[in-house]
Amino acid sequence: MALEKHYTVSQVADSLNVTARTVRELIREGRLKAVKLKKEYRIPESSLEKFQE
């Protein structure tokens, strides 16, 4: 079983052409799934793909 790739808030922001603040808001609203590691979010590739649909 391969581990899924995870992205930082900054990487997702660049990919979606939005600010990091917007990505964090999407996470807080539950519109973008993420895991919190220490003080930073990581967004699974599958979550990003689902959001972009």
> Could you read off the pLDDT of 1-53 as tens digits, one per residue?
678 999 999 999 999 999 999 999 999 999 999 999 999 999 999 999 999 98
So what's the pLDDT on residue 21?
A: 98
Burial of 20 (0-12, 13-18, 19+ CB in 10 A): middle
12 in a structural domain: yes
So what's the pLDDT on residue 20?
A: 98
15 in a structural domain: yes
How many folded domains does the chain comprise? 1
So what's the pLDDT on residue 7?
A: 97
User: What's the rounded Cα separation, in Å, for the pair 37 and 16?
Assistant: 22
pTM greater than 0.75 (yes/no): yes
So what's the pLDDT on residue 3?
A: 87
- Asked if 44 and 6 touch (Cβ cutoff 8 Å), the reply is yes
1 in a structural domain: no
- Asked if 5 and 34 touch (Cβ cutoff 8 Å), the reply is no
- Asked if 32 and 18 touch (Cβ cutoff 8 Å), the reply is no
14 in a structural domain: yes
24 in a structural domain: yes
* Residues of the domain holding 45: 6-52
So what's the pLDDT on residue 1?
A: 63
Task: Quickly tell me which residue has 């964090």 as its tokens.
Answer: 24
33 in a structural domain: yes
